[in-house]
Amino acid sequence: MKIAVLGTGIVGKTIAEKLNTLGHEVVIGTRDVEKTLANKSDEKSFAYWYESHKEIGLHTFKDAAAFAENVIFNCTSGMLSIKILQQAEAESLGNKIIIDVANPLDFSNGMPPTLNPGNSDSLAEQIQRTFPNLKVVKTLNTMSSFLMVKPSLVQGDHSIFVSGNDDAAKETVKELLNSFGWKKKNILDLGDISTARGAEMLLPIWMKLWNNLGTVEFNFHIQQNA
């Protein structure tokens, strides 16, 4: 599949690399391609990573979204996602599936960040309202990027959540997740896009556990009786 990944952070890089390994044609979207490639301000700069990943395209948000056949990953910073999707423009986004991996964490009042919106709304719903033709599917946002594409990093069974209004879109996403290594029994469909609130609200306890456990190698599991 021709897939676009919006965002050049660790999440975007990790997902783009995995998709590439799986044989998809992948492009990454960024605000300004030249600036992104010129920025070598530290070792983690995208430009260094990109030197060994030239088989992955690098385009503007708009061109990347237009390249995507059917699936776009939103791996941008949650507080900027709506603005970035507006830069990608509605006609490039079309009625494609957007997999919303972002968390709307607001760091403007210091640590710990708050969720914005937090409670009676979610980023996923905001995206769906702003671009009604997009098929928004919220998933992957409740864990570290390493785990997203390699669930075996944490032993045993653990859960991944999926929210969205379009059942066919959710099926496509579940198959992609399955190709990432997620067992079908561990993919929990929460329901329509409003259920993304619950998934986004896992972030505050996730960040606290990250701090306390000293590792990102953990995940939520919904323990049930067999």
State the minimum distance, in angstroms, from the CB of residue 15 to a copy of itself.
21
State the minimum distance, in angstroms, from the CB of residue 208 to a copy of itself.
5
Q: 123-130 and 81-88 are packed helices; what angle lies between their axes, rounded to 10 degrees?
A: 30
State the minimum distance, in angstroms, from the CB of residue 178 to a copy of itself.
19
Which H/E stretch holds residue 73? strand 71-74
Binding of a copy of itself at residue 209 (CB under 8 A)? yes
Give the strands of the sheet with 160-164, arranged side by side: 57-60, 25-30, 2-6, 71-74, 97-100, 135-138, 160-164, 187-191
* Interacting span for a copy of itself (CB under 8 A) from 9-17, 44-52, 75-83, 188-196: 188-196
State the minimum distance, in angstroms, from the CB of residue 226 to a copy of itself.
7
Binding of a copy of itself at residue 191 (CB under 8 A)? yes
Binding of a copy of itself at residue 13 (CB under 8 A)? no
The three-class DSSP label of residue 117 is coil
Tell me which amino acid residue 155 is: Q
Binding of a copy of itself at residue 89 (CB under 8 A)? no
Integer-rounded Cα Rg, in Å, for the chain is: 17
Binding of a copy of itself at residue 40 (CB under 8 A)? no
